Structure 1
Amino acid sequence: MRSFLYAIAIGLIGAALLHIVIILSLPSFTGRDAYTRVSSLGEANRFFALGNTGDTLAPVNDDPAMKTAVCTFSVEDGPVRLFAEGDVPFWSLAVYDSASNEVFSMNDRTSVTGALDTLVATPIQLIAIRKQVPQELEQSILVEMRGDEGYAVLRTFVPTESRLPAATAFLANAGCEPFAPDQ
């Protein structure tokens, strides 16, 4: 009788774990994971501003006091440089891999100059860059990303309606471009 109860308990625990794994992996099978939704907005290496409403498949900006833009990129062929500058009260950047694991995050308080200037690269690419840092990257923050594909989320705070033009310009002028050092 004791081994029968033990077998039932193990079976219930196994079934619970299986259900949790299935529920957590479901977004990647349905195409509704964050990377797929961000990729559906358009071409890579370009920031796209998110609207406050939209269909259920597209990502939306769900905080009215924040404006958000997203960019997909690949570091397979070379590093990607993320940059933005403007007169906004606060901004934050988060870099995710294609599995939506956060790789890096920062905000205007932790940046070197107050402007966004970040280079995302693979470990091998970063080794080559660190051997001889190009002049245009001397103030940049170098971010190591293990995978080849990912996306960046850039957010800025809009405390009042009068700050909306500055926030919109900040996101519109943000760059998400492949990096090629000046020769």
Structure 2
Amino acid sequence: MRILTIALMISAGAAHAEPVGITPDLMAVEVETSSGSVSISRVQDNDAIIEGDFARIARPCPNFCVQPMIPAEGVTPVGELEVLAFLNDPNVVVVDGRVTTDFVKGAIPGAINVPYFEAADRLGEFGCEIDFDGWICDGEDVKSVALYCNGPWCGQSPTAARRMIEAGFPASKISYYRAGMQGWQMLGLTITEPAE
């Protein structure tokens, strides 16, 4: 009888999975992307685990050293809820600073890819004006940027932030999502499908 009771409790628990929200009052966020509308939510499988490249936690330093929360003076660190809000804010561009080969394997929906080594040369995409001496980034049309890359051990977006600032982009208009793809996937948040 006791074995039957335990078996019934296990099967009842498996059949009654609890919903996984982003916050208690937020199940999903709709984001417009170049491919159409995408609903960002968390994986609903209560037994889901992180797998793949982002499950690896012990990569040699250098190059995979833990990054500071603030990669340059004036940059604002942010978390997932801020990134979700930025995705629907027309004054903010969410930028994946990873190399394109990583971006096409999966990214935050709505983010654009600006590899870290191109960031200082592409400030025009954020509203800066080119000048003979570099960039002018003080106009009303200059958007804020939220940078991310692979995770807390990835130096690509911190490097992009520093290069953008050196090129004339205001540090006060840069946010840094340090958790990156590793943190995003750890929380089971929606990513883009890998390009074929």
Whether TM-score is above 0.5 comes out as no
Higher strand share: 1
For the pair shown, the structure with the greater C-alpha radius of gyration is 1
With structure 1 as the length reference, what TM-score do the two structures score? 0.30
